[in-house]
Amino acid sequence: MVGVPKTIDNDLSATDQTFGFDTALTTATEALDKLHTTAESHHRVMVLEVMGRYAGWIALESGIAGGADVILIPEIPFLIDNVNAKIIERCSLGKKFSIVVVAEGAKSVDGEVIVKERIEDSFEPVRLGGIGIKVARQIEEGTGMETRVTVLGHLQRGGTPTAFDRILATRYGTGAVNFLMSGKFGEMVCLRTPDIKSVSLGKAVGEMRLVPTSSDIIQTARQVGISLGD
């Protein structure tokens, strides 16, 4: 058997990127572009809950690309007072709307991730979800601004793949066939930019790829004025 890294969450540490992530990222970014219109015209706070499980890649990158004002990810526990302070600050500057992106695995400093449901005998027994609704309610209570929430859900998992994902999946596919033909079993193909390599299946699933809190992309978000709630 030879594995290929397919997940929209981009949380496999053995590869630089999984296929499916770029398509989900594009879907989330396009949703933010659309939410900007209603947020600005109706002077609302719009909260978008995205997938990602315990990794914040979709939320972080779509939030930066889509012009979010607040991004909440699992790797950085947040204080709702800091979120509300950012929104109130924008209002004081004449910006009567805000966009908040929340990863489904995000949690407050004094809380835990919200579990939507548990399903026994499932590959994914713990289903996350509900943090967007909670954050929206706390924002409305703390700022007095009308706040709406959109849970993007399974729209992130389907649709037409981006060109990047099509090419990456093709590279993974040809790499997997090459490994099979050469008898290299028990491996997963992976991207080690710019090349397709292989890694043992055990190592491939041994560690999650989370957003490093000191990474350049985190600093980029902060430098453009995005609040991460900490």
Please state the rounded mean pLDDT for residues 72-99.
97
pLDDT at 214: 95
**pLDDT single digits (tens) 147-175:** 999 999 999 999 999 999 999 999 999 99
| Residue 170 structure tokens | 């093709």
**pLDDT single digits (tens) 200-216:** 998 888 889 999 999 99
**pLDDT single digits (tens) 45-68:** 999 999 999 999 999 999 999 999
Q: Is 194 helix (H, G, I), strand (E, B) or coil?
A: coil
Q: Is 69 a catalytic residue?
A: no
| Residue 139 structure tokens | 């924002």
CA dihedral 29, 58, 227, 213 (to 10 degrees): -150
pLDDT at 171: 98
Residue 139's closest CA among 153, 150, 129, 149?
149
Please state the rounded mean pLDDT for residues 1-19.
95
CA dist 101 and 46 (Å) reads: 8
Tell me: pLDDT of 218 over 90. Answer: yes
CA dist 188 and 204 (Å) reads: 7
Task: Report all structural domains of the chain as residue ranges with CATH numbers, in order of start.
Answer: 22-159+211-223 (3.40.50.460)
pLDDT at 123: 59
pLDDT at 126: 66
* Residue 176: its H or E element: helix 163-181
Residue 47's closest CA among 84, 10, 11, 76?
84
pTM across the whole model: 0.93
Cα radius of gyration (the chain): 19
More confident position, 42 or 128:
42
Tell me: pLDDT of 127 over 80. Answer: no
- Catalytic residue selected from 9, 22, 69, 165: 9
The chain-wide mean pLDDT, for the chain, equals 94
* C-alpha separations of 100 from 1, 43, 75, 155, 170 in Å: 42, 14, 16, 19, 35
